[in-house]
Structure 1
Amino acid sequence: MLLKVATMINPVFVLSDPKNRSFYCSLFIVVSLICGAYFIGSASIAKEYKEKLTRWKVIYNMQNMKFDTCKKRCQPSGTEALPEGIVAKTSDLEMRPLWGSSVKNKNSTPTMSLLAIAVGIKQKEIVDRIVRKFLSSDFVVMLFHYDGVVDKWRDLPWSDSAIHVSAMNQTKWWFAKRFLHPDIVTEYKYIFLWDEDLGVENFDPKRYLSIIRDEGLEISQPALDPVKSEVYHPITARVKKSKVHRRFYKFKGSGRCDDQSSGPPCTGWVEMMAPVFSRAAWQCVWYMIQNDLIHAWGLDVQLGYCAQGDRTKNVGVVDAEYIVHLGLPTLGVTDDNKGIDAIAQSKKEGSRALTPSPPPLKASDRAKVRMQSFIDMRIFKERWIKAVKEDSCWADPY
């Protein structure tokens, strides 16, 4: 019995039988074929899976790339739901007809610059002289009527071609913040933001533009005639036989200014009564103007930060084209004869008419206006100091 069992499990006896040997060979072949098919199939599946993974990876990378690209697009806030091409990011102040073609003529020569002035009806004749100079040099003219009077300007031949904006008792900086957004005035290479009490007898806008382009001035102003002007700062006084100056020298007393001086009031400074900004400079200055402050006192000291580079080089005063600052008090003045008297006096004195000496003011709110100017300046200075302290990413170049 034991011998029989041993024979049954002994492979020698099993393989010695031809029938058994044939069976196991067939089984081995079948198993080999199955294993081969399995390995070949696995390799094929692995290859296909790998190819799918590669395709998915490419698609994923492309989607991520598109997502990253889209994230980098500087879309204006609120336009995310729109295709980028439909967004009109800029505009201009050009008036369009109610009928006819609404598409701008691409062959037309664009106006290079904009003159914006805060005006009151009392200075109508002075403003008329200014505007005529600029219109002959192909400027767009925009009047900010701080006294609310618009209709009385209609008799001037250029009135209909000017843009009129009216608001009671507001400064040009208040108007500029609300109506001269950089996206609106982006087509104008230079922005002239002037007061109304300026004599332009010795000023030519075209020559002025030519000079500031040649000199690379991003922020500038015409020099002031120190003899005829009622009010001026030393750095803005005209230097005879000079084309442009960028600094003021003072070697005696306190607050000395020399070649080593690097900031206002020695260099990098213009006054606020007749500043001229390049397009790039205005894009910066506009944001510096405070929304809730009426006056811009204090901004003049910081304008150099918007000079698109070195303020000692890119900010300057043009001597070759100069003006006269009449120094006429306007906002807060209740003397109705003030502007009329100044114009009448100017007619009597001929060319020196642009420099009348203002008579004493009657009861008015002028003192309150000046006080508010000082308050606004203090607030602006405090905000600047606070902003510099809190912005850890900002580095002061000066």
Structure 2
Amino acid sequence: MQRQPMVLSGFPWNTKFKYSNVAAVQTDQTINRRQCSLNIYPTVALVLVFCFIGSAFIATDYKVNQCKPQGSEALPRGILSKTTDLEMQPLFGSPKRMENLETSKNLLAIAVGIKQKETVDQIVRKFITSGFIVMLFHYDGVVDEWRDLQWCDRALHVSAINQTKWWFAKRFLHPDIVAEYNYIFLWDEDLGVENFHPGRYLSIIQGEGLEISQPALDPTKGQKVHHQITARQRRNKVHRFCCSPTVKRFYKLSGGGRCYENSTGPPCTGWVEMMAPVFSRAAWRCAWYMIQNDLIHAWGLDYKLGYCAQGERTKRVGVVDAEYIVHKGIATLGGLDLYKSAAEAPSYPQSKSSSDLDTSVSSGSSSGSDDRVNVRLRSYAELGIFKERWANAVDEDECWMDPYPEKIK
């Protein structure tokens, strides 16, 4: 009789029994492993899919949180208001919607005292009619006496006794606060603007690609021009060097801030004075960080502004000749006798630290003519302190490379 093949129960297929019982057991174990492996693969694949999806969600969430400003992670993204502005809002009725209004994108900030009310009025009226937001820094504490001016209620008023323009700017013009504005004009109050128009000025600096600029000074009027680079050059629309090929060449061969034919740094090129600087949004964000909290006169800052020019300072920093002003040189803080000759200015040790400043110098009092001397002392001291801090910062920052290394003469 022919033996029939043995059928193994419990399997979906038939297996012929050709081997011994041991072989059959081994075959059974092998088949079980294979079946187990086949059953595990879908499970592992499913786990991997879940892990991938989960990690994707985590990565997305991390990426979203990374885009949020620090401190806002707990808030829903749509409620975040990342910038601010200086627009005033009504107490009742519908709020102003900036996206639906033609609002100013430029800012004039000016330190003022009531004694210069007439000059300030002339300046502000030109900027207000050009759509500027205007902020007045009242260093004498007098605010109410400005209310008879037509534009007074449209301006923002900040008052602090005997503080400088740079003290106000450091505290009230943080880059995040003025991020809505394309250009920031940080001006003194003693400027004649008869030959200046803000709109035309903006058009020129935008066309010329100037990130830091100032209107030229009329050398025939007002205070004597201390740095030739700021003097108006009649044949030019804009100049960036003190010695333009289109005018008679000028070299300052004596005194401070000397300029020679091969001079490549401030105050001979890439430089503006501090009475009427104009900053782009990006340049101001950089310059704001250089303003020291305790060095309120900001002496020495002008020589470093070129580092904030968002490019080569000889191209991005310039003086606008087509729109020029008169610097009247009227004394404000500390008395009436502000501008003496440079030879009469008191000297001061440049290595003196801020902690060593005499209390009579740093008191900020403006009660008499002697205070003007103290103001000058403080200014010269600050110049030395700022230079020292800059040198220390350069030595300590091993990663920083100076794009304008000083040439050893």
Compute the TM-score of the two structures, normalised by the length of structure 2: 0.79
Aligned 8 A contact 1:334 1:364 in 2: no
Aligned 8 A contact 1:298 1:377 in 2: yes
Aligned 8 A contact 1:231 1:326 in 2: no
1:168-226 deviation line (CA, Å, top 9, x unaligned): 00011111111111111112111110000001111111111111111111100000011
Aligned in 2, Cα 1:271/1:334: closer, same or farther, shift over 3 Å?
A: closer
Deviation at 1:30, TM superposition (A): 5.7
Deviation at 1:376, TM superposition (A): 1.4
1:383 corresponds to 2:377: no
Which of the residues 45, 48, 61 maps onto 2:42? 48
1:74-107 deviation line (CA, Å, top 9, x unaligned): x433333333443322111000001122251423
1:129 corresponds to 2:129: no
1:79 corresponds to: 72
Aligned in 2, Cα 1:80/1:238: closer, same or farther, shift over 3 Å?
A: same
Aligned 8 A contact 1:121 1:152 in 2: yes
Aligned 8 A contact 1:248 1:257 in 2: no
**Structure-to-structure mapping, 1:277-296, within 5 angstroms:** 277-296=279-298
1:243 corresponds to 2:237: yes
Runs (5+) with no aligned partner, structure 1: 1-22, 336-360
Counterpart of 1:138, as a letter, is: G
2:3 corresponds to: none
**Structure-to-structure mapping, 1:354-369, within 5 angstroms:** 363-369=369-375
Runs (5+) with no aligned partner, structure 2: 1-16, 244-249, 338-366, 405-409
Aligned 8 A contact 1:134 1:205 in 2: yes
* Matched position secondary structure for 1:79: coil
Q: Which stretch of the first structure deviates more once superposed, 49-58 or 226-235?
A: 49-58
Counterpart of 1:106, as a letter, is: E
Partners in 1 of 2:95 and 2:65 — Cα distance? Answer: 33
**Structure-to-structure mapping, 1:1-398, within 5 angstroms:** 27=21, 31=25, 34-48=28-42, 50-52=44-46, 54-55=48-49, 57-59=51-53, 61-62=55-56, 65-66=59-60, 69-70=63-64, 72-73=66-67, 75-232=68-225, 233-249=227-243, 250-251=250-251, 253=253, 255-258=258-261, 260-333=262-335, 363-398=369-404
Deviation at 1:72, TM superposition (A): 4.2
Aligned 8 A contact 2:65 2:73 in 1: no
Counterpart of 1:286, as a letter, is: W
Aligned 8 A contact 2:271 2:303 in 1: yes
Q: Which stretch of the first structure deviates more once superposed, 309-318 or 61-70?
A: 61-70
Deviation at 1:396, TM superposition (A): 1.4
Aligned 8 A contact 1:191 1:276 in 2: yes
Counterpart of 1:298, as a letter, is: G
Q: How many residues align?
A: 349
Partners in 1 of 2:238 and 2:203 — Cα distance? Answer: 12
- Over the aligned positions, Cα root-mean-square deviation in angstroms equals 2.5
Aligned in 2, Cα 1:71/1:101: closer, same or farther, shift over 3 Å?
A: closer
Q: Which stretch of the first structure deviates more once superposed, 294-303 or 370-379?
A: 370-379
Partners in 2 of 1:383 and 1:391 — Cα distance? Answer: 12
* Matched position secondary structure for 1:165: strand
Partners in 2 of 1:282 and 1:165 — Cα distance? Answer: 20
Deviation at 1:132, TM superposition (A): 1.0
1:344 corresponds to: none
Deviation at 1:69, TM superposition (A): 2.5
Deviation at 1:59, TM superposition (A): 4.0
